[in-house]
């Protein structure tokens, strides 16, 4: 009973987050979008489109494609990069999983020292998937309507994630699977034009659908969390549009989402509301340079700097020790990665890639590379260690340091840059982003197809029918 009382105490009895979210979704207009939010949103859309392509040939996605083709049904939307069309929720499951297949999609940012990084969601794929699928189902959705739906879902998803207490993640929930459901729902609801009770019922349906547990990190099911969030968000919107009922206050109260899954909320943050300060602007979003958990990125960059500046060859390395806090070491949990999925949550694997190839991209995060003799041997030279000094500094940033022992007896060491590459304070340039998209498409879409995809994404606001965008995910 004491646990229950503590949870209840964290959710104000009179909180009205559901009503506020519904009011925002219903009322927000394209004219309300800050110009800078549109600019960054366009970058996120371009990034997401590349990631849809990158995941399209992954085994986990092909299994879902086969399942979708066997089920069949109403031809609402294109099945990923195939000409076949399937019902909108099924198309969203496949597309959303593909977007998260490589764990390369962007990350929400927080400046709250108590808000550990793992709690933050991957904000783009759920609302982008829902917007692209619903644009095909509905037809005649132009670029501005599409951008509005995408940024609406992005904002709802990020605010709900930011307001929750860290217990949500620490107890084993995966935010991108849970909170991502609301991002997909809000985007779909915006395009469907849901209003009033039906809009609030949809939030209630989405709240009951929201799921995803961290034990599945390092397996095919981790990306499926995001695919299911996309599927469930669209399903919630379609059911609500038909009048399917749910609690109109499902985010709030002792039995609402925040209390049951979130461990409570921060009342002070809830006072910020939706769309007053757009999360995509403040505190911002991180577009990932590496296809793995963002918690590893500053350490990967540090390793790259150390081996490059000192020109360290793989054979010269005796051992590597990585010092970090529990905010990094607990979720990044594999001491030796035996496949590419585990490598996404393994510091020894990521740093071994840098030691061997001075790169950690799509090619390196493959079973062929991870399971190679050289990778397996290099991983065994790399150890992680809990650093109490780092732990004591808190979890407001991703702190780590590396010490490389060389076979000649010397040491090369350094601290990770807290202004990690890809984050709002050190963002990838547009040229770097385009290069990432091209690497996502390598071997899947030819040069001219890549050119069309990139150019169309940059000019998305000019599109008269965004459903055309789906056809660019495959070679013509």
What is the tens place of the pLDDT at every residue in 66-94?
Answer: 999 999 999 999 999 999 999 999 999 99
In DSSP notation, 40-66 reads: HHHHHHHHHHHHHHHHTTSHHHHHHHH
431 in a domain, yes or no? no
pLDDT at residue 417, rounded to an integer: 83
Whether 440 is covered by a domain: the verdict is no
Q: With 0-12 CB in 10 A as exposed, 13-18 as middle and 19+ as buried, what is 295? A: buried
303 & 253 share domain: no
Q: In what order do the strands lie in the sheet with 411-415?
A: 382-386, 317-324, 400-406, 411-415
The CATH number covering residue 382 comes to 3.30.1330.120
Q: Residues 74, 163: one domain?
A: yes
In a domain, 448, yes or no: no
Residue 293 pLDDT > 70, yes or no?
yes
298 and 411 assigned to the same domain:
yes
Instruction: Tell me the CATH number at 28.
Output: 1.10.4100.10
236 has a pLDDT exceeding 90 = yes
Q: Which of 213-217, 318-322, 395-399, 403-407 has the lowest mean pLDDT?
A: 395-399
Whether residue 154 lies inside any domain: the answer is yes
Are both 264 and 324 inside the same structural domain?
Answer: no
Is there a single domain that holds both residue 274 and residue 189? yes
Residues in Cβ contact with 295 at an 8 Å cutoff, skipping those fewer than 6 apart: 117, 118, 327, 328, 331, 332, 398
User: Does residue 361 have a pLDDT over 50?
Assistant: yes
Please name the residue ranges forming H helices in 245-339. Answer: 257-260, 267-270, 297-309, 326-329
**Smallest Cα–Cα separation from 101: which of 214, 227, 215?**
227
- Could you tell me the pLDDT band of residue 117, with boundaries at 50, 70 and 90? low
Our CA angle for 436, 312, 345, nearest 5°, is 50
Of residues 118 and 314, the one with the higher pLDDT is 314
Q: pLDDT-derived band of residue 113, with 50, 70 and 90 as boundaries?
A: confident
Exposure string of 124-156, with b = 16+ CB inside 10 Å and e = fewer, is bbbbbbbbbbbbbbbeebbbbbbbbbbbbbbbb
Query: What's the confidence (pLDDT) of residue 9?
Result: 34
Task: Look up residue 309 and give its DSSP letter.
Answer: H
The pLDDT value given to residue 14: 57
429 inside domain: no
Mean pLDDT of 153-161: 97
Instruction: Look at the alpha carbons of 122, 127, 130, 131 in this order and tell me if their dihedral is positive or negative.
Output: negative
| Residues 141 and 127 both lie in one domain | yes
4 vs 430, more confident:
430
Q: Are residues 334 and 272 in the same domain?
A: no
* Residue 113 belongs to domain spanning: 2-289+453-473
252 with 299, same domain? no
Say what the pLDDT of residue 96 is.
98
Same domain, 252 and 358: no
- Domain contains 274: yes
What does the alpha-carbon distance between residue 295 and residue 117 come to, in Å, rounded to a whole number? Answer: 7
Q: How far apart are CA 276 and CA 441, in angstroms?
A: 36
pLDDT class of 15 with cuts at 50, 70, 90? confident
Inside any domain, residue 428: no
Structure tokens at 302: 């540090």
As a whole number, the mean pLDDT across the chain is: 93
- In this structure, the answer to whether residues 410 and 285 fall within a common structural domain is no
State how far the alpha carbon of 83 is from the alpha carbons of 77, 100, 289, 467, in Å.
9, 22, 30, 13
Is 322 found in the same domain as 257? no
How many domains, the chain?
A: 2
The label of the residue with tokens 């350094």 reads 414
Q: Are residues 77 and 120 in the same domain?
A: yes
**What was the pLDDT predicted at 316?**
98
DSSP 3-state of 466 = helix
Q: Greater confidence, 327 or 409?
A: 409
54 is a domain residue: yes
Over the range 297-312, which residues count as b (16 or more CB within 10 Å of their CB) and which as e? bbbbbbbbebbeeeeb
How confident is residue 13, by pLDDT bands cut at 50, 70 and 90?
A: low
d(CA 50, CA 362): 12
- The mean per-residue pLDDT over the stretch 218-241 comes to 97
Token duo for residue 397 = 């940033």
pLDDT at residue 119 in the model: 57
């Amino acid at each position: 009973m004491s646990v229950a009382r503590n949870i209840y105490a964290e959710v104000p009895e009179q909180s009205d987050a559901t009503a506020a979210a519904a009011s925002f979704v219903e009322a927000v207009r394209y004219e309300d979008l800050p110009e800078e939010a549109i600019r960054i949103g366009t970058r996120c859309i371009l990034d997401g489109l590349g990631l849809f392509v990158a995941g399209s040939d992954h085994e986990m996605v092909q299994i879902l494609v086969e399942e979708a083709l066997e089920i069949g049904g109403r031809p609402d939307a294109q099945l990923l990069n195939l000409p076949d069309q399937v019902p909108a929720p099924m198309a969203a499951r496949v597309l959303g999983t593909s977007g998260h297949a490589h764990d390369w999609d962007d990350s929400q940012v927080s400046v709250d020292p108590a808000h550990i990084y793992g709690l933050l969601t991957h904000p783009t794929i759920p609302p982008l998937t829902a917007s692209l699928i619903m644009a095909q189902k509905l037809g005649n959705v132009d670029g501005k309507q599409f951008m509005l739906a995408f940024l609406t879902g992005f904002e709802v998803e990020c605010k709900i994630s930011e307001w929750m207490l860290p217990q949500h993640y620490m107890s084993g929930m995966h935010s991108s699977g849970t909170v991502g459901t609301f991002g997909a729902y809000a985007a779909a609801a915006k395009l469907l034009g849901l209003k009033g009770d039906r809009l609030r019922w949809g939030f209630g349906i989405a709240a009951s659908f929201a799921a995803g547990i961290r034990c599945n990190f390092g397996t095919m099911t981790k990306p499926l969390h995001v695919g299911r969030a996309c599927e469930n968000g669209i399903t919630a919107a379609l059911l609500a549009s038909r009048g399917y009922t749910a609690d109109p206050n499902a985010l709030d109260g002792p039995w609402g989402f925040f209390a049951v899954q979130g461990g409570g909320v921060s009342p002070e943050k809830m006072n910020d509301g939706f769309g007053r300060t757009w999360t995509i602007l403040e505190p911002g979003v991180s577009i990932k340079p590496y296809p793995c958990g963002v918690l590893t990125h500053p350490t990967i960059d540090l390793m790259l700097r150390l081996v490059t500046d000192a020109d360290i060859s793989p054979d010269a390395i005796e051992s590597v020790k990585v010092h970090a806090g529990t905010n990094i070491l607990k979720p990044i949990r594999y001491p030796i990665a035996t496949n590419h999925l585990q490598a996404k949550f393994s510091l020894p694997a990521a740093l071994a890639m840098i030691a061997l190839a001075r790169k950690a991209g799509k090619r390196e995060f493959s079973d062929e590379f991870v399971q190679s003799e050289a990778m397996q041997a290099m991983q065994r030279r790399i150890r992680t260690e809990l650093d109490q000094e780092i732990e004591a500094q808190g979890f407001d940033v991703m702190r780590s340091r590396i010490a490389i022992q060389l076979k000649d007896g010397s040491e090369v060491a350094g601290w990770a840059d807290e202004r990690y590459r890809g984050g709002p304070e050190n963002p990838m340039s547009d040229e770097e982003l385009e290069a990432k998209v091209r690497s996502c498409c390598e071997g899947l879409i030819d040069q001219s197809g890549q050119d069309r995809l990139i150019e169309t994404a940059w000019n998305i606001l000019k599109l008269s029918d965004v459903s055309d965008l789906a056809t660019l995910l495959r070679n013509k």
